[in-house]
Amino acid sequence: MITKNISFAGYSKSLSILKTLTRFKLLLALMVFPYTTLAAQDNQPYGNRIASLPLDVSRIVAAKDAPNDKGALGRNKRDYFHVRFQVGMHNLVHYGIAAKDPRAIELFVKAAEYAFEQQLDTGDFILVVPRSLQGKNAPTYSDRVSGAAFFMSSLGSGWYALETSEWAQSSAETKPLMSRLAQLKPKARLTLDYLTTNQQDLMKADRKAPNRLLFDGLAFYSFGKILEDQKLIDTASTFISAATAQVHSDGYFIENDGFDSSYNGVASALALRLRLMGYESDRIPESSTSSINWQITRLLPTGEISKEGNTRVKGNGEGEAFLGRTKDVDVGHTVEALLYAALYEDNNSSVDIAKKVLSFYLNQ
């Protein structure tokens, strides 16, 4: 069992560490993936629900998204690029709450502070395109707005979990960390004003990509709850309803006029996260259930996520590219979706599936 006593230091080498860790407990005998039945939402607040996440898997997911000493995540670690690459920081909070580990919460706060150091007076963020990408498909204004929404969705998810966690609200160790977060509220409000001003551009850019619409919806909804701002919640509904209107009768979120096992995994995780936050409107309960069940049908007995028939992420050098790299399947969000689904189950079937998926990819 991986416990909270393992240090969060040195995550620049997290992938090799994680491959070693998975040899302990993640080999399973599961050969058939069942459908999962999601029970009705109980009355527990989001942060308290997150406290039930399994420590072994949530710690691995959090380690993947841990920042460096500056607070930078992803492509920002080498040199700052854009706050869009701070996405994933909420997983630090999820593990921190489940393990009652304030060190993970401090990493989340540090990642937030680092991101807001890049904020402009408009609420937008600095964009520094790496030299290797200059002159190649330069990001548009809409890309910058969308990137800010991605960041705010992850920040808001982690922040709202802390606001609704009995442990985080009562622990003496988290009190100074919550104070540091509170100091960022004016900066968060400035970016929310920026997103609100540009919501038509955001909708135009993301209208045919349900996963992106759900990122947008999460950004507005999570901060609507944190700031007790009904206008933000109403704006969230506009994006969320546009996303759930694009669910196929087979259960998946439609991407590029078809299905995609990578992006459906992303959309499933976001829809389930919204539901855990208490969002029960705009067909989120139905869509979160149907999309995760469809996602399970795309899992091979080995745990691999099948890319066969995908419209966007195809593998083998084919399919869409992002910033000069061919896209590969998003494993993290599928694992995240399965962990969320397990919080509605009476057994651990979705956790077992998540472990098998994680084991397959970390042992490649």
pLDDT digits (tens, 9 = 90+) for 233-257: 999 999 999 999 999 999 999 999 9
Confidence of residue 13 (pLDDT cuts 50, 70, 90): very low
- Give the pLDDT confidence score for residue 16 in this predicted structure: 40
Could you please report the per-residue DSSP string of 240-288?
HHHHHTTB-TTSPBPBTTB--HHHHHHHHHHHHHHHHTT---TTHHHHH
> Confidence class of residue 334 from pLDDT cuts 50, 70 and 90?
very high
* Contact of 208 with 214, CB cutoff 8 Å: no
Paired strand residues for 253:
247
Determine the longest span between alpha carbons in the chain, in angstroms.
54
- Segment 39-50 shows an average pLDDT of 79
Looking at residue 360, what is its pLDDT? 96
Q: By CB neighbour count within 10 A (0-12 exposed, 13-18 middle, 19+ buried), where does 103 fall?
A: middle
DSSP character string of 77-110? TTS---GGGGTTTHHHHHHHHHHT-HHHHHHHHH
Is the pLDDT at 77 greater than 70? The verdict is yes
Mean pLDDT of 260-276: 97
Tell me the average pLDDT across 58-72.
94
pLDDT for residue 25: 38
Tokens of residue 95, six digits: 């593990």
The band of 326, judged by pLDDT with boundaries at 50, 70 and 90, is low
Confidence of residue 14 (pLDDT cuts 50, 70, 90): very low
309: left (phi over 0), alpha (psi -120 to 50) or beta: left
pLDDT at residue 24 tops 70: no
Percent of the chain with pLDDT over 90: 77
Q: Please give the pLDDT value at position 33.
A: 53
Tell me the CA end-to-end span of the chain in Å, nearest whole number: 21
Residues whose CB falls within 8 Å of the CB of residue 152, separated by 6 or more in sequence, listed in order = 188, 191, 192, 195, 219, 222, 223
Q: Which of 41-45, 115-119, 203-207, 269-273 has the lowest mean pLDDT?
A: 41-45
Beta carbons within 8 Å of 134's beta carbon, 6+ residues apart: none
How far apart are the C-alpha atoms of 109 and 112, rounded to whole Å? 5
Q: Is the dihedral of CA 152, 158, 164, 168 positive or negative?
A: negative
pLDDT at 139: 80
Give the residue among 38, 34, 90, 88 at the shortest CA–CA distance from 295: 34
Number of H helices, E strands in the chain: 16, 4
How confident is the model over 136-164, as a mean pLDDT? 93
Residue 9 scores a pLDDT above 70: no
Residue-range domain boundaries for the chain = 11-362
> Looking at residue 39, what is its pLDDT?
52
Residue 269 has pLDDT above 90, yes or no: yes
- Mean pLDDT of the region 48-75: 94
More confident residue, 5 or 248: 248
Quick one: average pLDDT of 178-196?
Answer: 98
Q: How does the average pLDDT of the chain come out, rounded?
A: 88
Average pLDDT of the segment spanning 287-295: 97
Instruction: Please compute the mean of the pLDDT values over residues 158-182 and round it to a whole number.
Output: 98
Q: pLDDT-derived band of residue 321, with 50, 70 and 90 as boundaries?
A: low
Select the CATH number that applies to the domain covering 11-362 from these four: 1.20.1300, 1.50.10, 3.30.310, 1.10.287: 1.50.10
d(CA 67, CA 59): 14
The residues, ordered by sequence, that sit 6+ positions from 344 with a Cβ below 8 Å of its Cβ are 36, 37, 38, 39, 41
